[in-house]
Amino acid sequence: MISSASLVPSVPAAPAVEVRHLTMRYDQRIIMQDLSFSIAPGEVFVIMGGSGSGKSTLLRHLIGLKQSPEGSVRIHGDDLGLADAAGRRRILSRIGVLYQAGALWSGLTLAENVALPLKELSDLAPAAIAEIVALKLALVGLQGSADFYPAEISGGMRKRAALARAIALDPDVLFFDEPSSGLDPISASRLDDLILAIAESLGTTIVVVSHDLASIFRIADRTLFLDISTRTMTALGAPAALRDAPPNDEVRRFLTRDSGSRT
């Protein structure tokens, strides 16, 4: 349940997300090893890397869907893996996730999708919930579509509705899994605008998994590069700085879209 005390980070200067020596495995196979980085509150942070580099797996570790015995992930100082059931709910109520295809609950209307987290994780009265739902849907430009089911709207609308659901509880940290995938350039750019607007106006920390260069250069304050050949992170910094002074050839090729072939 949300209480006013829990909304304030215990240590104001603490990083929003802190990863220490995280190693991720699939069965016994190492996907990425020894990842350490921290994300400051209010920052727009992009995790980039090639297909199959483990970006989405890292995201699943950050949001607690996967846990690794090697290393730790802390959200505002709290470790999801160590929390009890109540602590887990408290931490989870402070994060929002936008999944790759939206992952709206197909049996519920858009309004019900946005309302469910509020009903489950807050003590708000139904009338207050209805007002919040209307506000969040309006923020993503979906006023008037509240009573549609997810199957009845376009992919871009679905993503925006899922964003409305992700920001329903005014989370401190918002996670995005490949937000521009499957969207046309205009819809993708609109979504980038929305992400930036939320980061600026609500002060939300934004963590994005992406390989869309246009989007990365547009929104990212800092970015982390996962290198599939060394199976670890090989760069951390502002995207433009990494492009101008790449720390290694993989990063240069990724940021300049160089396939390495002769043509």
Partner 1 sequence: MPHATPRIDQTPEGLLVALAGTWRLSESTPRFDAVLGAMQDTRSEATPQAEPTPDHPAARTLGFDSSALLTWDSSLLIFLRQGQTFCDLHSCRFDATGLPAQVSALLALATVVPERAAEPVAPALSAVARFGVAGIATWDSFRDGITFLGETADSLRRLLSGKVRFQWRAFWVVVQSNSSGALPIVTLIALLVGVIIAFLGVVVLEQFGAGYYVSYLVGYGMLREMGALMTGIIIAGRTGAGFAAEIGSMKITEELDAYATLGISTVDHLVLPRVLGLFVMLPLLAVYADVVGIFGGLAVSVALLDLTPTQFFGGMLTAVSLSDALLGVFKATIYGALIGFAGCMHGLRTGSDASAVGRAATSAVVLGITLIIIANAIVDWLAALWHI
Q: Which stretch binds partner 1 (CB under 8 A): 13-21, 61-69, 137-145, 214-222?
A: 61-69
If one asks whether residue 104 binds partner 1 (CB under 8 A), the answer comes out as yes
C-alpha distances (whole Å) from 182 to each of 101, 102, 158, 159, 212 are: 8, 11, 11, 10, 11
If one asks whether residue 25 binds partner 1 (CB under 8 A), the answer comes out as no
Give the residue with the Cβ less far from partner 1, 64 or 239: 64
Task: Enumerate residues 150-209 that contact partner 1 by CB under 8 A.
Answer: 165
Among 24, 31, 32, 63, binds partner 1 (CB under 8 A): 63
Give the residue with the Cβ less far from partner 1, 110 or 239: 110
| Count of C-beta atoms within a 10 Å radius of residue 230 | 12
Among 7, 65, 138, 245, binds partner 1 (CB under 8 A): 65
Task: Enumerate residues 214-243 that contact partner 1 by CB under 8 A.
Answer: 228-229
If one asks whether residue 92 binds partner 1 (CB under 8 A), the answer comes out as yes
Q: Which stretch binds partner 1 (CB under 8 A): 7-15, 92-100, 213-221, 232-240?
A: 92-100
Among 2, 14, 40, 103, binds partner 1 (CB under 8 A): 103
Give the residue with the Cβ less far from partner 1, 150 or 246: 150
Give the residue with the Cβ less far from partner 1, 136 or 239: 136
Q: Which stretch binds partner 1 (CB under 8 A): 8-16, 37-45, 71-79, 89-97?
A: 89-97
If one asks whether residue 138 binds partner 1 (CB under 8 A), the answer comes out as no
Residue 87: both structure tokens together: 């602590």
Least distance (Å) between residue 239 CB and partner 1: 24
Least distance (Å) between residue 100 CB and partner 1: 7
Among 2, 14, 40, 121, binds partner 1 (CB under 8 A): 121
Q: What is the 3-state secondary structure (H, E, C) of the chain?
A: CCCCHHHCCCCCCCCCEEEEEEEEEECCEEEEEEEEEEECCCCEEEEEECCCCCHHHHHHHHCCCCCCCCCEEEECCEECCCCCHHHHHHHHCCEEEEECCECCCCCCCHHHHHHHHHHHHCCCCHHHHHHHHHHHHHHCCCCCCCCCCHHHCCHHHHHHHHHHHHCCCCCCEEEEECCCCCCCHHHHHHHHHHHHHHHHHHCCEEEEECCCHHHHHHHCCEEEEEECCCCEEEEEECHHHHHHCCCCHHHHHHHCCCCCCCC
What is the rounded CA–CA span in Å between residue 103 and residue 43?
Answer: 25
The footprint of partner 1 (CB under 8 A) covers 29, 63-65, 88-89, 92-93, 95, 97, 99-101, 103-107, 116-117, 119-121, 165, 228-229
